Amino acid sequence: MNIAKHCIVKPGSKFRLKDRDPEETYGVHRNDKAHQKTINRLRELQHLLYADRRYSLLIVLQALDAGGKDGTIRHVMSGVNPQGCEVTSFKAPSTSDLAHDYLWRIHHCVPQLGNIGIFNRSHYEDVLIVRVHRLVPEEIWSKRYRQINDFERMLTQNGTTILKFFLHISKDEQRRRFEARMQDSSRNWKLSLPDFEERQHWDEYQAAYEDALRKCSTKWAPWYVIPADRKWLRNHIIADLIVRALDNMKLKYPAPTVDISKVVLA
């Protein structure tokens, strides 16, 4: 079953985030064996991508706090070779970052040909958190949608396929996850006061995300809204979409750099 058609934000559509149910399953039932088969296929395709070296894959993960970005990376990318995959987590910009345009630090982290790059948060923070907390005037951030679209078009025209996933969770599910983390000593050390304070801006973030998803879902880099209240379903959908993207590249192994028929082993 191709779930992509249900998750994609169709370019130019009158998309509304409230129309997407974070608990939706699209009739899919949990099947761990099938999921493992997909993960194994992802491992094979990553090796092929690394050998081919004509293309790269950029995976963008965006979500509200506790949305599951780290969990997605941990479970979906569990079998890939770290040599050809790099995760970049974008925190608050440094002094050096602020001395350049907002896309400068992003471009520097785009994966090289043959590699998979994963952005844990991304350039979209510059139309999300800066908007919600009024870090820059609207006249500045409102221009960034077009700039981001142009930036992503340039990347795709130079061999980078972009997959953008918004992990869509409900406010109740976020609360449950926060409560679970507070009781788990292996995870509660990562919690900070701003994590909880951001819940006060839930509606503002929903509006900011809706605009970003609608205005920056393009033919060359569409957005996928992933129902993420169920972690197993989130992992299943994203793994499937990654495998489909890699399959569509028509990857192939390059020819040997030496004439193997003439090689004589001593």
Q: What is the DSSP code (8-state) at residue 190? A: G
What would the mean pLDDT of 219-235 be, rounded to a whole number? 98
Question: What separation, in Å, do the N-terminal and C-terminal C-alpha atoms of the chain show?
Answer: 53
In tens, the pLDDT along 188-206 reads 888 888 888 999 999 999 9
Q: What is the DSSP letter of 226?
A: E
Summarize pLDDT for 132-167 with one digit per residue, the tens: 999 999 999 999 999 999 999 999 999 999 999 999
CA 189, distance to chain mean position in Å, is 25
Residue 187 is predicted with a pLDDT of 85
Confidence at residue 3, expressed as pLDDT on a 0 to 100 scale: 85
As a whole number of angstroms, the distance between CA 262 and CA 266 comes to 13
Cβ 198 vs Cβ 64: under 8 Å = yes
Burial zone of 23 (CB within 10 Å; 0-12 exposed, 13-18 middle, 19+ buried): middle
Residue 1 has what pLDDT? 66
Residue 265 located in a structural domain: no
Q: pLDDT tens-digit profile of 40-59? A: 999 999 999 999 999 999 99
As separate numbers, helices (DSSP H) first and strands (DSSP E) second, the chain gives: 12, 5
pLDDT band at 259 (very low <50, low <70, confident <90, very high): confident
Cβ burial of 77 (10 Å; 0-12, 13-18, 19+) is buried
Q: Which tens digits make up the pLDDT trace of 9-29? A: 999 999 999 999 999 999 999
CA angle centred on 116, ends 173 and 21, rounded to 5°: 25
Instruction: Examine residue 99 and state whether it is found in any structural domain, yes or no.
Output: yes
For 155-181, what is the mean pLDDT?
97
Mean pLDDT of 57-82: 96
CATH of the domain at 219: 3.40.50.300
Q: Which domain holds residue 200?
A: 4-251
- Say if residues 208 and 134 touch (Cβ distance below 8 Å): no
* Amino acid present at 57: L
Asked if residue 53 belongs to a domain, the reply is yes
Q: How many domains does the chain have?
A: 1
Q: Confidence class of residue 257 from pLDDT cuts 50, 70 and 90?
A: confident
Contact 259, 25 (CB under 8 A): no
Higher local confidence (pLDDT), 196 or 131: 131
In a domain, 262, yes or no: no
The answer as to whether 260 is a domain residue is no
The confidence score (pLDDT) of residue 6 equals: 93
- Amino acid (one-letter) located at 182: M
DSSP assigned state of 110: S
Q: Is residue 259 part of a domain?
A: no
Q: Is the dihedral of CA 224, 125, 185, 201 positive or negative?
A: negative
pLDDT of residue 266: 83
Three-class SS state of 247: helix
pLDDT exceeds 90 at position 7:
yes
Q: Is residue 153 part of a domain?
A: yes
Residue in 69, 26, 162, 161 with CA at minimum distance from that of residue 77? 69
Structure confidence at residue 192 (pLDDT): 82
What percent of the chain shows pLDDT beyond 70? 100
- 95-117 pLDDT per residue, tens: 999 999 999 999 999 999 999 99
* Spatial separation of the C-alpha atoms in residues 110 and 116, rounded to whole Å: 9
Residue 250 has pLDDT above 70, yes or no: yes
Q: What percent of the chain has pLDDT over 90?
A: 88
> Is 256 a domain residue?
no
User: Which pair of tokens denotes residue 223?
Assistant: 């957005």
